[in-house]
């Protein structure tokens, strides 16, 4: 399985600021995804990070709030913009096991607290 | 959208006991996946199922893809303390461009 790292592992931020989360994979992957996991809740897909094109966002998530970059096949960033306490969550990136596979491997997550 | 139902929210068992978790949906799914999440970590894939009726084992874990394609179960045999964690079912609904959908998870506690 792919080895996935995320930076930062956790952060405490003030409302109104923005935080960029990095996701690095040790091998080239086709698909990279960003999820949000609110406290005590399940995982909700934010968007699919597409290499060389704009990310594909799920219903309820917009690019202005969660801009995403995918400059190559091993790296992606998610920015949480103009944060509010409601954005306090774990943010997880994941990658597909292989092209066309439904199996995803997850990074360790970034624990964000917004005051 | 399609939802996956997992209940109860929490389960408490004695070390050495077997436990079974179920995941159901009102829609047909093409894939069923079971993940475990430890505190402070991302989910780890335990078992993947791709065919209706498929029964797959991974050590003390056994999972099955329901015949109706609307459910799956995960069995853990001879539980040990490190089995503690949150168990999520996930699946890909039938249909084009379907995305992986997660259940709400079951928190398992194992009493020594």
* Closest C-alpha among A38, A43, A39, A25 to residue A95: A25
Residues 6+ apart with CB under 8 A from B78: B16, B17, B18, B60
Q: What is the mean pLDDT of residues A35-57?
A: 92
pLDDT at B27 over 70: yes
Nearest residue of chain A to residue B38 (CA atoms): A108
**A111 to chain B: which residues are within 8 Å by CB?**
40
Question: What chain B residue is nearest to A43 in terms of C-alpha separation?
Answer: B102
**pLDDT in the model for residue A102:** 87
CA end-to-end span of chain A: 36
Asked whether the predicted pLDDT for residue B104 surpasses 60, the reply is yes
Identify which of A45, A103, A108 has the shortest CB distance to residue B48. Answer: A103
pLDDT, position A107: 97
| Distance from C-alpha of B106 to C-alpha of B20, rounded to nearest angstrom | 11
What percentage of chain A has pLDDT greater than the value 70? 100
| Residue B110 distance to chain A (closest CA, Å) | 19
pLDDT higher than threshold 60 for residue B1? no
Which residues are bridge partners to B88 per DSSP?
B35
Residue B112's alpha-carbon distances to A29, B18, B21, B54, B80, in angstroms, are: 41, 14, 20, 33, 8
Measure CB to CB from residue A45 to each of B42, B88, B99 and give the nearest one.
B99
Q: In this complex, is the C-beta atom of A99 within 8 Å of any C-beta atom belonging to chain B?
A: no
Q: Report the mean per-residue pLDDT for chain A.
A: 95
With a pLDDT cut of 90, the percent of chain B lying above it is 87
Residues 27-56 of B with CB under 8 A from A: 30-31, 33, 35, 40-45, 48
For B3, the 3-state DSSP assignment is: coil
Smallest Cβ distance to A42: which of B30, B31, B88?
A: B88
Predicted confidence (pLDDT) per residue in A75-89, tens digit: 999 999 999 999 999
Picking from B106, B23, B104, B105, the residue whose alpha carbon sits closest to that of residue B68 is B23
If pLDDT is split at 50, 70 and 90, which confidence band does B94 have? confident
Residues in chain B with CB shorter than 8 Å from the CB of A104 are 33, 45, 100
Q: What is the pLDDT of residue B99?
A: 87
Inter-chain CB proximity A45 and B92 less than 8 Å? no
CA distance A31 to chain B (A): 12
């Amino acid at each position: 399985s792919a080895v996935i790292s995320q930076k930062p592992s956790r952060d405490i931020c003030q409302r109104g600021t923005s935080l960029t989360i990095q996701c690095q994979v040790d091998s080239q992957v086709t698909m990279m995804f960003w999820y949000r996991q609110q406290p005590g809740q399940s995982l909700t897909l934010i968007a699919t990070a597409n290499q060389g094109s704009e990310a594909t966002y799920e219903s309820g998530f917009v690019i202005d709030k969660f801009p995403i970059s995918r400059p190559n096949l091993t790296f992606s960033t998610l920015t949480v913009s103009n944060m509010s306490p409601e954005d306090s969550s774990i943010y997880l990136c994941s990658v597909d096991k292989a092209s066309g596979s439904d199996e995803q491997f997850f990074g360790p997550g970034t624990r964000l607290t917004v005051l | 959208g399609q939802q996956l139902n997992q209940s109860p929210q929490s389960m408490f068992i004695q070390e050495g006991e077997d436990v079974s978790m179920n995941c159901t949906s009102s829609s047909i799914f093409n894939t069923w996946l079971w993940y475990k999440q430890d505190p402070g970590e991302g989910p780890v894939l335990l078992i993947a199922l791709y065919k209706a009726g498929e029964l797959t084992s991974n050590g003390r874990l056994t999972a099955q893809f329901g015949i109706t394609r609307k459910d799956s179960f995960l069995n853990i045999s001879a539980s040990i303390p490190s089995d503690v964690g949150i168990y999520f079912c996930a699946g890909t609904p039938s249909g084009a461009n379907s995305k992986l959908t997660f259940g709400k998870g079951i928190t398992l506690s194992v009493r020594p």
